[in-house]
């Protein structure tokens, strides 16, 4: 008989029973009717195991566990004697469900999400130790899918939406407070400016005339940059007050000038 690559064989004899010697790859001889070979696949084989279990806070969790396993080659005679050729069907579902239920029960639903790596590591270590009792080596164990009941998922989504709305409301309140502070500061500044202007007018009547000159200068500069010719009176330029003041000064210094003009 032939043993293909990645396989091993154990021989059962009608005379001596199961041989402890494991046959490797290649061609081997057997005694017809007396000896019968049993071939095992010793390659690493993936398998998905689903389990429905409960968390610490009594939430039902649907878990999909992926394991990569292979039998211990030196223990194949014992595997055949105790478990048979379908050892994986006999061992993996039972120990995987047992391990998952014992580990998941230690965490609540939120911790299963936030501590997923820790949960996966704990499941892997326990499952590898448990598989050794059945002469099975687990090369890798990982949680590929983890889902909760629709009611719990809807509750979590509602909680997240409520938290986002609360954060938005908090931001709106803070924005309103900042705008209120800005308005108060602006009003205080305007009040202080008005107070200073009123004080300047009371102490110095020429302050208004100074403002008129500044305004007239700005208007003149703007018009000078224009391509059109514009004629403005002194009233428009707010220069009438300045002319009046200049006239009063001239009257005080040279009263005879105006009397001669109107005399």
* R_g of the chain, CA atoms, integer Å: 49
The Cα 205–Cα 120 span in angstroms is 86
> Residue 208's pLDDT is what?
65
Q: What pLDDT does residue 87 have?
A: 94
Residue 148: the pLDDT is: 86
Per-residue model confidence (pLDDT) at position 192: 80
pLDDT at 199: 75
Say if residues 134 and 96 touch (Cβ distance below 8 Å): no
The angle, 0 to 180 degrees and rounded to 10, between the axes of the packed helices 116-132 and 87-104 is 140
Other CB atoms within a 10 A radius of the CB of residue 194 amount to 10
- Residue 119: its pLDDT value, please? 93
Q: What is the pLDDT of residue 206?
A: 66
Positive or negative: CA dihedral 223, 229, 231, 236: negative
Query: Would you state the structure tokens that stand for residue 72, as one six-digit string?
Result: 């211990």
Q: Show the DSSP H helices in the chain as ranges.
A: 76-82, 87-104, 109-114, 116-132, 150-203, 206-224, 240-253, 255-262
Per-residue pLDDT of 127-142, as tens digits, reads 999 999 999 999 999 9
**What pLDDT does residue 173 have?**
84
Q: What pTM, to 2 d.p., does this model score?
A: 0.60
Sequence-distant (≥ 6) Cβ neighbours of residue 214 within 8 angstroms: none
Name the stretches of the chain with pLDDT < 50. Answer: 242-263
């Amino acid at each position: 008989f032939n043993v293909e690559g990645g396989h091993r064989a154990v021989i059962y004899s009608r005379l001596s029973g199961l041989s402890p010697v494991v046959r490797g790859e290649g061609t081997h001889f057997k005694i017809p009717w007396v000896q019968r070979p049993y071939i095992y696949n010793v390659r690493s084989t993936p398998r998905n195991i689903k389990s429905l279990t409960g968390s610490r806070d009594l939430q039902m969790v649907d878990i999909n566990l992926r394991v990569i396993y292979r039998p211990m080659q030196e223990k194949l005679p014992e595997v055949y004697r105790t478990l048979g050729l379908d050892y994986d069907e006999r061992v993996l579902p039972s120990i995987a469900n047992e391990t998952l239920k014992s580990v998941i029960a230690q965490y609540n639903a939120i911790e299963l999400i936030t501590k997923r790596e820790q949960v996966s590591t704990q499941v892997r270590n326990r499952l590898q130790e448990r598989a050794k009792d059945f002469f099975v080596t687990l090369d890798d164990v990982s949680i590929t899918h983890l889902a909760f009941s629709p009611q719990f998922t809807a509750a979590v989504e509602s909680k997240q939406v409520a938290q986002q709305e609360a954060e938005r409301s908090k931001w709106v309140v803070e924005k309103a407070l900042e705008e209120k502070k800005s308005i108060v500061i602006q009003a205080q500044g305007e009040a202080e400016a008005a107070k200073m202007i009123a004080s300047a007018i009371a102490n110095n009547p020429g302050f208004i005339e100074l403002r008129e000159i500044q305004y007239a200068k700005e208007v003149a500069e703007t018009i000078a940059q224009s391509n059109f010719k514009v004629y403005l009176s002194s009233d428009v330029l707010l220069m009438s007050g300045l002319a009046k003041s200049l006239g009063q000064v001239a009257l005080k210094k040279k009263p005879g000038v105006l009397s001669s003009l109107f005399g």
